[in-house]
């Protein structure tokens, strides 16, 4: 980050309700929280932190961003909270207990490593890291410092996901032979103009990987990995990763992709996603077994199990920051999304990092809707292709799709 921005010369004393609380006869200091990356999606984190600050569960002690802080009516900046443009200066000056990191993916390792070295626990936005080597480096820093990292896969805190994994473990779908996810979204031109790293594979020589699988639809892949983990009763171990990647714009990453992960234990995992869809598919996690099929629409927490006529909403999501605070207060309270749990997801990103440039789809295959910044490109027939991929467990090239290319295949640990 750039040079430090001017800030108040002194910070007013904390309100009386931010004084250390009494817990079991001992003072329990209120956790001091800093947010690095306070604009853009960081405003969502400000809306989470704001009520916790107001009720005295945390004390917001710093915001960090390279640009002036954007107004967020639902989470105004409390009086006296200093603003920085350099996370290192912030760490040295205010010594937070927890650092929330919501910055571009290629900056995550450096900022998270600095934060844990400074003694803070971290809530790190997804995608957490861009390679297995980075994952191992940060894991080593955690082992050395004794700190923890929670990763921002908030859908893992869903009660609907727990209901699905409980049903699968209890045999509601019978012997499982497939885990899959499908999603069809649309992203306009403005989406790819949102930041210098948008749609990029590299920025200033550093990997970014802002593709559909790595970023906007990362939750879909991680949900599948969570189901596989619950089914096998152990961490997922990918043994091969096959991916076909496509794009409809002059970008460097995929906006459409089909992925198949074969694991050491359990059925294959298949993902078929696009940001150039026709009809909208919010995002479904599909578990197929001998007794039928279970479908979780993960963005809405709607769940359909075998034997049920209609999907039902399963309410309840545990917040990742609140869960991190609970873990700090009692280490026996498990983290929802510890860094170690995301290792298989990062193995997928490692394969994407090594894969060749996505194939460009164009001509009559692609239709244009709208104009200007809201122009959307859609692939004709893509939704039907995605559905076939998840239904049959085969990639587009294996289905004989005319525009499909041969898949890239990798074995985890084989890429740098």
pLDDT tens column, 143-180: 999 999 999 999 999 999 999 999 999 999 999 999 99
pLDDT reported for residue 67? 94
pLDDT tens column, 341-383: 999 999 999 999 899 999 999 999 999 999 999 999 999 999 9
pLDDT reported for residue 200? 83
- Provide, rounded to the nearest whole percent, the portion of the chain with pLDDT above 70: 93
Which is nearest to 186 in space by CA: 374, 391, 51, 50?
374
The predicted model gives 248-262 an average pLDDT of 96
Domain boundaries, given as residue ranges, for the chain: 16-154, 155-316+340-410
pLDDT reported for residue 195? 82
Query: What is the end-to-end Cα distance of the chain in Å, rounded?
Result: 26
Residue range 155-316+340-410 in CATH 3.30.360.10? yes
pLDDT at 23 over 90: no
Q: What pTM was estimated for this model as a whole?
A: 0.90
**Which architecture characterizes domain 16-154 according to CATH?**
3-Layer(aba) Sandwich (3.40)
The predicted model gives 396-401 an average pLDDT of 98
pLDDT tens column, 28-76: 799 999 999 999 999 999 999 999 999 999 999 999 999 999 998 988 9
Range from 3-7, 123-127, 277-281 carrying the lowest mean pLDDT: 3-7
Question: Is there a contact between 263 and 238 (Cβ–Cβ < 8 Å)?
Answer: yes
pLDDT tens column, 279-335: 999 999 999 999 999 999 999 999 999 999 999 999 999 999 999 999 999 999 999
Q: What is the mean pLDDT of the chain?
A: 91
Greatest mean pLDDT range, 121-125, 198-202, 251-255:
121-125
């Amino acid at each position: 980050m750039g040079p430090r921005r001017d800030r108040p010369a002194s910070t007013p004393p904390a309100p009386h309700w931010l004084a250390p609380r009494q817990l079991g006869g001992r003072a329990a200091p209120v956790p001091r929280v800093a947010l690095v990356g306070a604009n853009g999606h960081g405003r969502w984190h400000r809306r989470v932190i704001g009520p916790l600050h107001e009720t005295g569960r945390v004390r917001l002690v710093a915001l960090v961003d390279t640009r002036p802080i954007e107004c967020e009516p639902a989470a105004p900046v409390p009086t006296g909270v200093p603003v920085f443009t350099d996370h290192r200066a912030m760490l040295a000056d205010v010594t937070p207990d927890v650092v929330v990191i919501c910055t571009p993916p290629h900056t995550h390792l450096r900022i998270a490593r600095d934060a844990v070295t400074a003694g803070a626990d971290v809530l790190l936005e997804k995608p957490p890291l861009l390679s297995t080597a980075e994952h191992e480096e940060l894991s080593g820093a955690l082992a050395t410092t004794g700190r923890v990292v929670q990763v921002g896969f908030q859908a893992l805190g869903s009660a609907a996901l727990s209901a699905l994994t409980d049903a699968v473990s209890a045999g509601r779908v019978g012997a499982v032979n497939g885990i899959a996810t499908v999603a069809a979204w649309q992203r306009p031109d403005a989406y790819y103009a949102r930041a210098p790293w948008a749609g990029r594979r590299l920025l200033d020589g550093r990997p970014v990987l802002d593709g559909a699988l790595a970023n906007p639809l990362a939750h879909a892949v991680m949900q599948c990995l969570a189901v596989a983990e619950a089914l096998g009763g152990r961490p997922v171990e990918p043994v091969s990763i096959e991916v076909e990647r496509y794009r409809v714009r002059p970008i460097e990453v995929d906006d459409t992709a089909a992925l198949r992960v074969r694991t050491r234990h359990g059925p294959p995992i298949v993902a078929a996603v696009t940001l150039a869809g026709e009809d909208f598919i919010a995002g479904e996690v599909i578990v197929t077994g001998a007794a039928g099929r279970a479908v979780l629409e993960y963005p809405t927490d709607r769940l359909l199990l075998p034997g049920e006529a209609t999907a039902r909403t399963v309410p309840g999501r545990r917040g990742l920051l609140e869960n991190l605070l609970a873990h700090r207060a009692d280490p026996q309270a498990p983290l929802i999304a510890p860094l170690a749990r995301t290792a298989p997801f990062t193995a997928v990103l490692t394969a994407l990092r090594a894969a060749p440039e996505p194939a460009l789809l164009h001509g009559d295959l692609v239709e244009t809707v709208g104009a200007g910044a809201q122009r959307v490109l859609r692939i004709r027939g893509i939704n039907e292709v995605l559905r076939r991929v998840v239904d049959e467990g085969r990639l587009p090239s294996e289905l004989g799709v005319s525009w499909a290319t041969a898949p890239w295949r990798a074995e985890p640990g084989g890429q740098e």
